[in-house]
């Protein structure tokens, strides 16, 4: 937040993709998701809460996720998000189109450099 | 552990649950963050603060997260609606008043619309019914014969000529309603029949439910004798047995094979029947006359009624060239009648003049609803005034005009729709009442129901009402916006002019509309009274039993035996205790039946154009007039000796006697005859005029033949009498079931195959002829009294509100020495001024409206002075009473208390 201006905006759908991918490993609650993404990206990516929770609700509405009552790592009641089969399908689609896109982009960038 | 079916449960999550989940997640998130920060060594309070700061605006994030689930515009509308409902709940009295007013107002409109929709707007239930024409002929030269609702009906020879030579019709046919006796079952039963020629079923194009239509060979007089059943008769008599085709039914002592069953709801034009019989016209025996059949035809696609008119007009000379009325008659005589086609759509003919009644009633209930809406607008205006503070604060805080307008409108539309929902119940009850009690002459009434179109009408009307009564406060307050002083009103002595003026306008409008309705109601009441006071030509109709007995040719062929049978039945009935007089005739007044129309020549009189006008004929038995209570003005009644002696005698109505010989007494002994070939008939008696076609129609001149006579139409000597006779029985027990049972036994004691039909008291027949008037009357009277009541409430509401607003001013006036009586008068006067303006506007409107209602009035001018004086007085009195109560309250104001309260 403080270093917001230094950071590049994520492209549309990137947040969703990362959330889905993270939840594919294991169901987790909101705070855990933030932590997980932060750690896995070696602090390169920091999820804003202001984006996370609306995104989670949108994904619940699309039925990519399910929320269930659970207990956080610290023993407090919270909601655990779990990937649904629809979410998994969506993730696979997104990943393949993302891969195509990065391949395309890197080819263009590689060509420009030569 | 069985796997919990998680997704199904999650889908059923309510939105509230979702929101709770969200809050819990976020709370936990912050708590965990705080804990982490504390683990790094931060004190709790600081950690919590940092965590919250890092998270951002919790409320905003929650809000944005929730928006994933909602459509934001709708959501805020729902919030407004919730607020509105809460506000309504806080003033249940006001809300209930508004809802009840709306339920009644919209309900009445829905009910009448449902009737109008079914009866007038909907097409008839035949395929492509817009192409079906009623073959209506005008014959301005035919005198009385073509004067009634059917124009000149067709003769079979016309049908044959027209159907063979026309170029504009795909098919056409003629039909006639009738009755027949069905025997060979437990009890002989008289049923309603429709006699149909070839072409009728083809024109209506409704396929049978079972079997087939009459074939060409079944329409041949020498072909197989067949019959078709209506759905209702099939269900009633045969329990819906599909094996009914091919069975034999004895109709008028003739065995007929059942060849088909028509589907439920099928009618010929608007006639509900039990049996369809083929007309089986015999070409050989047809003459130019008689004109007793309704014609319908299906136009070829793309052909207009005007083209069909022109086509058939061309065929009328062909018809006169092709047929004759017998040797020695001039087939071109009918030129005098100036017959010309004036075809209508079948729908137009079926609806007839009912649509004008229905439109009047629709307009009436519409006006009542308008009055109700102005009342509601007034109530809402008062309430909006009391919310003035709140609204101006909100405007000052930045609420947009549109937003405030939307909220006010939302409130009124919500009221409108809630009222509309209740109105469906009211309309349903109203329709049941209407169908049960509506005039029998109202066509298609049985088809009426609350269909989708009526419900849509209700919805639109509800929304419209809501917008209408809501727009008045909106126009006043949303427009005023922040200019309304926020704090200044408590010191103002009296309300500003503007809101008062709009309330006054509403009261004026209400008074004007109430006046219009009351004037129409009173005119209808006077019409009804005029109808009741008409001398119908018979007396004490409640104690006059009528019933029809038809003796088919196939049962008794000899006319003399028919008359004997009728005579015996009359004698048997006369022997029943309590019967004071009995007689019979071919038709009784107001039963909708004209036995015959023909020319009659008075001895020694010459006629313009050589041809006398057509007159109505009836056949009467001795004692018929005594039983009916029709006064004998001069001469004497027939005797049985006259009848069996076939004496050339006739009786006439008083108006015919006056027209022909100057007075009733002068008529006795004079002679009339029909044609130059028929013998002279001596007038032996004159009876008073009878309103044969209903109390609101002038009494026609009638020639009364004896119940049996030498047939004037037969070239060879023959006797003739009516096969179907309606008996008139005078008894104090008329209409009681045990009495009717006794009559049936008396008839069976003469012949066991004869059923009773059309069993009514004369009162029933007379009421039926006034049904249209009484229906309109009841509707207008209800609407008028509702309008008066609503108007009084409106005036009371406005005046008492004004008084409450002017308490301070009144207190000051009293303190300065105003007289209480003067004060009361001042307030009553203000109400009278408003009423006066309303009355003037209303009178002008009423005069315009009444001109349109003229056809519904009888014996009274649409500008009846009594009505136009009475109603304004009634309204003024009502206004005085309605304002007197608040005036007294004003005079009772204690000046000291009012001024202290400042």
Nearest chain A residue to B10 by CA distance is A66
Token look-up 């309304």 returns: B484
Considering only the beta carbons, identify the residue of A58, A78, A82 that sits closest to B24: A78
User: What is the C-alpha to C-alpha distance for residues A40 and A24, in angstroms, rounded to an integer?
Assistant: 14
B21 to A79: CB separation less than 8 angstroms, yes or no: yes
Name chain A contacts of B24, Cβ cutoff 8 Å. 77-79
The whole-number pLDDT of residue B380 equals 82
- Contact (CB, 8 A) for B33 and A31: yes
State the average pLDDT over residues A24-39. Answer: 88
Q: Beta partners for B258?
A: B227
DSSP B501-554: HHHHHHHHHHHHHHHHHHHHHHHHHHHHHHHHHS--SS--GGGEEEEEEE--TT
> CB distance from B671 to chain A under 8 Å?
no
B61 to A74: CB separation less than 8 angstroms, yes or no: no
The whole-number pLDDT of residue B638 equals 94
Q: From the CA of B17, how many Å to the nearest CA of chain A?
A: 11
The whole-number pLDDT of residue B716 equals 75
Q: Comparing A66-70, B161-165, B375-379, B481-485, which segment has the lowest mean pLDDT?
A: B481-485
User: Which pair of structure tokens corresponds to residue B485?
Assistant: 């002083």
B28 to A29: CB separation less than 8 angstroms, yes or no: yes
Residue A69 has phi, psi (to 5 degrees) of: -65, 135
Q: Kindly state the percentage of chain B with pLDDT values over 70.
A: 91
Q: Kindly state the percentage of chain A with pLDDT values over 70.
A: 89
- Rounded to two decimals, the ipTM of the complex is 0.82
User: What is the C-alpha to C-alpha distance for residues B290 and B286, in angstroms, rounded to an integer?
Assistant: 9
A54 to B61: CB separation less than 8 angstroms, yes or no: yes
Name chain B contacts of A74, Cβ cutoff 8 Å. 31-32, 35
User: Which pair of structure tokens corresponds to residue B746?
Assistant: 């008396």
The single-letter DSSP state of residue B214 is P
Nearest chain B residue to A51 by CA distance is B61
Residue B5 clears pLDDT 60, i.e. is over it:
no
pTM, to two decimals? 0.64
Residue B846 clears pLDDT 90, i.e. is over it:
no
- Contact (CB, 8 A) for B719 and B710: yes
Residue B396 clears pLDDT 80, i.e. is over it:
no
State the average pLDDT over residues B679-693. Answer: 92
- Contact (CB, 8 A) for B81 and B410: yes
User: What is the C-alpha to C-alpha distance for residues B556 and A55, in angstroms, rounded to an integer?
Assistant: 95
B65 to A76: CB separation less than 8 angstroms, yes or no: no
Q: From the CA of B72, how many Å to the nearest CA of chain A?
A: 14
The model's pLDDT over B551-608, given as tens digits with 9 standing for 90+, comes to 888 888 888 999 999 999 999 999 999 999 999 999 998 887 777 888 888 988 888 7
Name chain A contacts of B64, Cβ cutoff 8 Å. 50, 53-54
User: What is the C-alpha to C-alpha distance for residues B456 and B462, in angstroms, rounded to an integer?
Assistant: 10
- Nearest CA to A33 out of A45, B564, B230, B198 is that of A45
Residues 6+ apart with CB under 8 A from B569: B549, B584, B727, B746, B747, B750, B751, B754
User: Which pair of structure tokens corresponds to residue B722?
Assistant: 């009516």
Q: How many CB contacts within 8 angstroms connect chain A with chain B?
A: 81
User: Which pair of structure tokens corresponds to residue B849?
Assistant: 């409206």
The whole-number pLDDT of residue B443 equals 63
User: What is the C-alpha to C-alpha distance for residues B199 and B173, in angstroms, rounded to an integer?
Assistant: 4
Cis peptide before B642 (omega within 30 of 0): no
Residue B489 clears pLDDT 60, i.e. is over it:
no
The whole-number pLDDT of residue B398 equals 66
Bigger pLDDT: A83 vs B69: A83
> CB distance from B6 to chain A under 8 Å?
yes
User: What is the C-alpha to C-alpha distance for residues B179 and B194, in angstroms, rounded to an integer?
Assistant: 8
User: What is the C-alpha to C-alpha distance for residues B698 and B588, in angstroms, rounded to an integer?
Assistant: 16
Residues 6+ apart with CB under 8 A from B733: B578, B739
Q: Beta partners for B681?
A: B672
Token look-up 């003033």 returns: B91
Bigger pLDDT: B72 vs B182: B182
pLDDT confidence bin for B779, thresholds 50/70/90: confident
Q: What mean pLDDT value characterizes chain B?
A: 83
Residues 6+ apart with CB under 8 A from B89: B95
Residue B439 clears pLDDT 70, i.e. is over it:
no
User: What is the C-alpha to C-alpha distance for residues B839 and B846, in angstroms, rounded to an integer?
Assistant: 10
User: What is the C-alpha to C-alpha distance for residues B192 and B232, in angstroms, rounded to an integer?
Assistant: 12
Nearest chain A residue to B8 by CA distance is A66
Residue A26 clears pLDDT 80, i.e. is over it:
yes
User: What is the C-alpha to C-alpha distance for residues B290 and B154, in angstroms, rounded to an integer?
Assistant: 8
B61 to A50: CB separation less than 8 angstroms, yes or no: yes
Pairing of strands B226-229, B632-635: unpaired
The whole-number pLDDT of residue B447 equals 67
pLDDT confidence bin for B902, thresholds 50/70/90: low
User: What is the C-alpha to C-alpha distance for residues B96 and B102, in angstroms, rounded to an integer?
Assistant: 10
Work out the angle at residue B310's Cα, subtended by the Cα atoms of residues B305 and B316, and round it to the nearest 5 degrees.
120
Q: From the CA of A46, how many Å to the nearest CA of chain B?
A: 12
The whole-number pLDDT of residue B486 equals 42
Q: From the CA of A54, how many Å to the nearest CA of chain B?
A: 4
CB atoms within 10 A of CB B50: 15
User: What is the C-alpha to C-alpha distance for residues B415 and B300, in angstroms, rounded to an integer?
Assistant: 51
B69 to A30: CB separation less than 8 angstroms, yes or no: no
Residue B70 clears pLDDT 80, i.e. is over it:
no
Residue B122 clears pLDDT 80, i.e. is over it:
no
Residue B441 clears pLDDT 70, i.e. is over it:
no
The model's pLDDT over B791-838, given as tens digits with 9 standing for 90+, comes to 787 778 777 777 777 778 888 888 888 888 888 888 888 889 989 999
Considering only the beta carbons, identify the residue of B28, B56, B60 that sits closest to A77: B28
Residue B648 clears pLDDT 80, i.e. is over it:
yes
pLDDT confidence bin for B873, thresholds 50/70/90: very high
Bigger pLDDT: B657 vs B816: B657
The model's pLDDT over A60-109, given as tens digits with 9 standing for 90+, comes to 888 898 888 888 877 888 888 999 999 999 999 989 988 998 899 888 88
Residues 6+ apart with CB under 8 A from B534: B691, B695, B696, B859
Query: Domain-by-domain residue ranges, chain A?
Result: 10-113
Residue B182 clears pLDDT 60, i.e. is over it:
yes
State the average pLDDT over residues B413-430. Answer: 88
The whole-number pLDDT of residue B490 equals 44
User: What is the C-alpha to C-alpha distance for residues B454 and B439, in angstroms, rounded to an integer?
Assistant: 21
Residues 6+ apart with CB under 8 A from B51: B30, B31, B33, B34, B37
Q: Is A54 helix (H, G, I), strand (E, B) or coil?
A: helix
User: What is the C-alpha to C-alpha distance for residues A25 and A32, in angstroms, rounded to an integer?
Assistant: 12
Residue B148 clears pLDDT 60, i.e. is over it:
no
Chain A residues within 8 angstroms (CB to CB) of chain B: 1, 29-31, 34, 48-50, 53-54, 56-58, 60-61, 63, 66-68, 72-74, 76-79, 82, 84
Considering only the beta carbons, identify the residue of B25, B35, B66 that sits closest to A74: B35
Q: From the CA of A2, how many Å to the nearest CA of chain B?
A: 9
Residue B72 clears pLDDT 60, i.e. is over it:
no
Residue B484 clears pLDDT 60, i.e. is over it:
no
Considering only the beta carbons, identify the residue of B6, B66, B68 that sits closest to A68: B6
B28 to A30: CB separation less than 8 angstroms, yes or no: yes
Name chain A contacts of B72, Cβ cutoff 8 Å. none
Please state which CATH number belongs to domain A10-113.
Answer: 1.10.10.10
> CB distance from B29 to chain A under 8 Å?
yes
Bigger pLDDT: B796 vs B462: B462
Integer Rg of chain B from CA:
38
């Amino acid at each position: 937040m403080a270093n917001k201006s230094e950071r590049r905006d994520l492209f549309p759908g990137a947040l969703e993709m990362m959330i889905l991918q993270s939840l594919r490993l294991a169901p987790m609650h909101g705070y855990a998701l933030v932590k997980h993404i932060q750690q896995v990206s070696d602090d390169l990516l920091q999820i804003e809460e202001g984006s996370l929770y609306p995104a989670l609700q949108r994904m619940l509405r699309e039925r990519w996720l399910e929320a269930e009552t659970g207990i956080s790592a610290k023993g407090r009641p919270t909601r655990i998000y779990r990937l649904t089969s629809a979410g998994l399908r969506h993730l696979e689609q997104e990943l393949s189109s993302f891969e195509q896109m990065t391949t395309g982009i890197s080819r263009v960038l590689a060509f420009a450099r030569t | 552990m069985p796997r919990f079916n998680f997704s199904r449960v999650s889908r059923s999550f309510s939105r509230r649950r979702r929101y709770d989940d969200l809050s819990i997640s976020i709370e936990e998130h912050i708590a965990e963050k705080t804990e982490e920060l504390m683990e790094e060594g931060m004190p709790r309070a600081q950690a919590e603060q940092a965590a919250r700061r890092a998270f951002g605006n919790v409320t905003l994030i929650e809000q944005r997260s929730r928006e994933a689930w909602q459509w934001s515009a709708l959501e805020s509308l729902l919030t407004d609606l919730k607020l509105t409902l809460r506000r309504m709940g806080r003033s249940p009295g006001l809300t209930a008043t508004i809802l009840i007013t709306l339920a009644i107002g919209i309900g009445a409109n829905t009910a009448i619309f449902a009737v109008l929709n079914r009866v007038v707007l909907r097409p008839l239930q035949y395929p492509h019914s817009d192409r079906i024409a009623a073959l209506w002929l005008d014959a301005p030269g035919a005198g009385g014969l073509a004067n009634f609702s059917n124009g000149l009906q067709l003769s079979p020879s016309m049908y044959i000529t027209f159907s063979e030579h026309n170029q504009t019709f795909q098919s056409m046919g003629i039909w006639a309603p009738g009755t027949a006796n069905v025997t060979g079952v437990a009890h002989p039963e008289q049923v309603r029949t429709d006699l149909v020629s070839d072409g009728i079923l083809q024109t209506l194009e409704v396929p049978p439910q079972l079997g087939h239509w009459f074939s060409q060979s079944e329409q041949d007089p020498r072909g197989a004798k067949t019959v078709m059943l209506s759905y209702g008769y099939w269900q009633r008599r045969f329990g819906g047995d599909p094996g009914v085709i091919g069975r034999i039914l004895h109709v008028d002592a003739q065995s007929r094979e059942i060849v088909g069953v028509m589907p439920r709801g099928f009618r010929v034009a608007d006639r509900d029947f039990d049996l369809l019989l083929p007309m089986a016209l015999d070409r050989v025996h047809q003459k130019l006359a008689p004109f007793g059949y309704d014609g319908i035809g299906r136009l070829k696609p793309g052909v207009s009624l005007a083209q069909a008119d022109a086509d058939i007009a061309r065929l009328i000379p062909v018809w006169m060239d092709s047929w004759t009325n017998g040797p020695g008659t001039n087939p071109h005589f009918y030129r005098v009648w100036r017959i010309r086609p004036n075809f209508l759509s079948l729908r137009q003919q079926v609806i007839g003049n009912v649509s004008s009644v229905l439109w009047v009633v629709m307009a009436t209930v519409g006006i009542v609803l308008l009055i109700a809406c102005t009342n509601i607008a007034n109530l809402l205006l008062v309430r909006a005034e009391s919310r003035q503070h709140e609204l101006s604060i909100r405007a000052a805080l930045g609420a947009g005009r549109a937003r405030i307008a939307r909220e006010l409108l939302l409130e009124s539309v919500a009221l409108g729709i809630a009222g509309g929902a209740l109105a469906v119940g009211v309309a349903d009850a109203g329709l049941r009442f209407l169908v049960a009690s509506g005039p029998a002459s109202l066509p298609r009434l049985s088809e009426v129901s609350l269909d989708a179109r009526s419900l849509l009408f209700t919805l639109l009307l509800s929304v419209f009402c809501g917008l209408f009564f809501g727009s008045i406060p909106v126009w006043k307050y949303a427009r005023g916006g922040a200019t309304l002083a926020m704090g200044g009103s408590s010191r103002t002595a009296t309300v500003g002019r503007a809101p008062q003026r709009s309330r006054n306008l509403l009261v004026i409008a209400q008074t004007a509309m109430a006046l219009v309705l009351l004037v129409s109601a009173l005119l209808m009441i006077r019409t009804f009274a005029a109808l009741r006071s008409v001398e119908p030509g018979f007396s004490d109709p409640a104690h006059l039993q009528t019933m029809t007995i038809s003796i088919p040719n196939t049962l008794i062929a000899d006319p003399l035996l028919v008359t004997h049978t009728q005579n015996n039945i009359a004698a048997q009935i006369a022997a029943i205790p309590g019967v004071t007089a009995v007689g019979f005739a071919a038709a009784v007044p107001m039963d909708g039946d004209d036995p015959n129309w023909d020319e009659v020549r008075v001895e020694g009189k010459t006629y313009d154009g050589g041809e006398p006008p057509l007159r109505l004929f009836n056949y009467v038995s001795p004692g018929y007039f005594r039983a009916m209570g029709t006064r004998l003005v001069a001469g004497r009644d027939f005797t049985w000796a006259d009848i069996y002696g076939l004496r050339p005698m006739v009786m006439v109505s008083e108006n015919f006697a006056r027209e022909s010989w100057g007075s009733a007494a002068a008529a006795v002994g004079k002679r009339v005859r029909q044609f130059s070939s028929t013998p002279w008939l001596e007038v032996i008696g004159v009876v008073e005029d009878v309103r044969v076609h209903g109390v609101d129609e002038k009494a026609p001149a009638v020639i009364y033949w004896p119940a049996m006579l030498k047939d004037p139409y037969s070239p060879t000597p023959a006797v003739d009498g009516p096969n179907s006779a309606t008996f008139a029985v005078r008894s104090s027990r008329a209409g009681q079931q045990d009495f009717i049972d006794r009559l049936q036994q008396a008839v069976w004691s003469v012949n066991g195959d004869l059923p009773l039909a059309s069993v009514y008291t004369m009162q029933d027949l007379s009421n039926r002829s006034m049904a249209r008037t009484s229906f309109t009357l009841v509707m207008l009277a209800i609407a008028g009294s509702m309008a008066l009541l609503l108007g009084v409430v409106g005036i009371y509401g406005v005046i008492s509100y004004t008084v409450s607003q002017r308490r301070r001013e009144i207190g000051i006036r009293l303190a300065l020495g105003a007289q209480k009586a003067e004060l009361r008068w001042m307030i009553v006067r203000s109400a009278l001024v408003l009423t006066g303006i309303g009355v003037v506007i209303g009178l002008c409107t009423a005069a315009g409206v009444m001109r349109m209602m003229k056809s519904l009035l009888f014996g009274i001018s649409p500008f009846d002075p009594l009505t136009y004086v009475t109603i304004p007085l009634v309204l003024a009195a009502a206004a005085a009473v309605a304002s007197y109560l608040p005036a007294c309250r004003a005079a009772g104001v204690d000046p000291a208390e009012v001024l202290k309260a400042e």
